[in-house]
Amino acid sequence: MYGKKVKLRIIFISSVFITLILSVYIILKLLDDNIVYFKSPTEIKKLSDIDKKKIRVGGMVKKDSINFEKESISFIITDFKNDLAVTFSGSVPNLFQEEKGVVAEGFLKDQNFFVADKILAKHDENYMPPEVSKSLGN
Amino acid sequence: MLFKLIEKNKNIITSPTFKKIIIILFIICLTLGLFEALILSPSDYLQSDAVRIMYVHVPAAWISLSIFSIIAILSLGILIFKNKNFVIIAKSLAPSGFIFNLIALVTGSIWGKPTWGTWWAWDPRITSMLVLFLFYSLYLLSWRIFDKQKAINISSCLALIGVINVPIIKYSVNWWATLHQPSSIKILSGSAIHSSMLTPLFLMTASFALFSVLIFLMKYNTELIKLKNKGLNRL
């Protein structure tokens, strides 16, 4: 149907393309740990040694866990398997709420205690008007 | 298929009437869309009025991704079959895709500040979108920098390399832990966006798509005129 040259081009371009996809796949696989924006409390528990590097931890803010103290806020990040206590001094974003997603950036003191210097609120994929949210019982 | 259709109906597509119809449709969709997005649609239960940024952000991202995919498919045709018409179509599609990519990045940043608490995060979704932006820039630059045949080859290669990034953007939110929320609209399981917010979203998508078609037509006509003036039958 097609000429010999066209066939050769199809084979060549597809092999280049497949090679590229494979190499991108391998690179992404190798970098997996560094691509994630945050780690979950369970992953923190699995860490064998705590290094001094800055990390991000994410999950849900546990219900009734937010404590406003004089100059700091403390709360618990949970992934419903493991918990991690966090303290932070500074202002939190508007969407920071109990039972909503959160990402904390800072330093790990030990496997159960995290000192954050930045708090980001994570929004989920649900969008709805307030009335609908109320009728769902939130 | 679609491209054969474009080739056959070249005269209709380049005619001023067709352009006028697109302009009228675009204005209707945009007015209805903006009216729905800014006035009729409700505010969100969590983020209140910041949700209205989504009606620009999401359609812009959709359009820029689709345009890049189309350019990549055309580029495959250019490299394999040396189709000359594909060259002009791909070249004319790029500017609107580039602009919508930029709009998606900027509006995302404006939305991120009040909701997440940061303008920018090196999160997989945002970073891969930035990579797409770089590919768009390189694609557009390659047409300016290189001579005719060289530009055709280099830009097509760039599009083919860059298209690997498209599925990465799409699935980044599922593969890795990201700050960016996962997709709200899935083909199989319906939408996590309330139906009252879907109307403005789809109207804005339609108007952005029509806008891209409009810019494409203008650019396509200019390219054809350029070719005619040079008196070249070949590219």
- What ipTM was predicted for this assembly? 0.87
Q: In the prediction, which pLDDT does B3 show?
A: 63
Residue in chain A nearest B123 by alpha carbon:
A37
Q: What are phi and psi of B82, to 5 degrees?
A: 55, 40
Only one residue has tokens 């371009």, namely: A13
According to the model, what pLDDT value does residue B136 have? 97
The reported pLDDT for the residue numbered A21 is: 94
The whole-number pLDDT of residue A3 equals: 82
H or E element: which one contains B171? helix B165-175
Which residue of A32, A123, A133 to mutate against B (max B Cβ within 10 Å)? A123
Specify the 3-state DSSP secondary structure of A99.
coil
Chain A residues in contact with B177 by the CB 8 A cut-off are 36-40, 58
Of A24, A37, A133, the CB nearest to B177: A37
CB within 8 Å of B29: residues ≥ 6 apart? B203, B204, B206, B207, B210
Looking at residue B134, its pLDDT comes to 97
**Mean pLDDT (whole number) for B194-207:** 92
A128 burial type by CB count under 10 A (0-12 exposed, 13-18 middle, 19+ buried): buried
- Measured between CA atoms, how close is B194 to chain A, in angstroms? 5
Q: How far apart are CA A16 and CA B234, in angstroms?
A: 28
The C-alpha atoms of residue B40 and residue B200 are separated, in whole angstroms, by 9
**Distance between CA A110 and CA B21 in Å, rounded?**
65
Copy the structure tokens of residue A77.
Answer: 């990040």
**CA of A70 to nearest chain B CA: how many angstroms apart?**
22
Strand runs labelled E in chain B: 185-186, 190-191
- Determine the average pLDDT of the residues in B94-106: 96
Q: Place B7 in a pLDDT band, splitting at 50, 70 and 90.
A: low
Q: Which residues of B touch A97 (CB under 8 A)?
A: 46
B116–A95 CB contact, under 8 Å: yes
Q: How far is CA B6 from the centre of its chain?
A: 19
Cβ neighbours for B158, distance < 8 A, ≥ 6 positions apart: B135, B138, B139, B142
Q: Cβ contacts (< 8 Å) between B183 and chain A: which residues?
A: 125
- Which among B88, B86, B66 has a CA at the least distance from the CA of B77? B86
Any A CB within 8 A of B116 CB: yes
CB contact set of B65 (below 8 Å; sequence gap of 6+): B132, B166, B169, B170
How many CB pairs below 8 Å do chains A and B form together?
A: 114
Mean pLDDT of chain B: 90
- State the amino acid at position B71 in one-letter form: I
CB B30 within 8 A of CB B56: no
Q: Which residues contact B168 (CB under 8 A, 6 or more apart)?
A: A24, A28, B124, B128
Task: Specify the DSSP element, H or E, that contains A117.
Answer: strand A113-122
Closest residue of chain A to B167, computed from CA coordinates: A21
Q: What is the DSSP letter of B53?
A: G
Which H helix or E strand runs over B79?
helix B54-81
Using a CB–CB cutoff of 8 Å, tell me whether A25 touches chain B.
Answer: no
Residues of chain A with C-beta less than 8 angstroms from the C-beta of B45 = 128-130, 132-134, 138
**Domains in chain A: boundaries:** 1-35, 41-122
- In the predicted model, what is the mean pLDDT of residues B154-176? 94
Q: Which residues of chain A have pLDDT under 50?
A: none
- SS3 assignment, position A106: strand
Which chain A positions have a beta carbon within 8 Å of B47's beta carbon?
Answer: 94-95, 123
Nearest to B7 by CA among B84, B91, B97: B84
What single letter denotes the amino acid at residue A106?
Answer: G
Do A78 and A41 touch, CB atoms closer than 8 A? Answer: yes
* Contact assignment for B192 to A123 by CB distance below 8 Å: no
Residue B2 has pLDDT above 70, yes or no: no
pLDDT digits (tens, 9 = 90+) for B55-94: 999 999 999 999 999 999 999 999 998 888 899 999 999 9
- Residue A21 near chain B (CB below 8 Å): yes
Distance from the A138 Cα atom to the nearest Cα atom in chain B, whole angstroms: 10
Query: What average pLDDT does this structure show over B121-142?
Result: 95
What is A24-83 written as a DSSP string?
Answer: HHHHHHHHHHHHSS-B-HHHHHH-SS--SS-EEEEEEEPTT--EE-SS-EEEEEE-SS-E
* Residue A31 forms contact with B (CB below 8 Å): no
Residue ranges covered by each domain of chain B = 20-42+50-230
Q: What is the pLDDT of residues A42-68, one digit of tens each?
A: 888 887 777 778 889 999 998 888 888
- Considering Cα of B215, then B166, then B139, then B4, what sign does the dihedral take? negative
Q: Which of B218, B194, B153, B207 has the alpha carbon at shortest distance from B34?
A: B207
Which homologous superfamily is A41-122 in?
Nucleic acid-binding proteins (2.40.50.140)
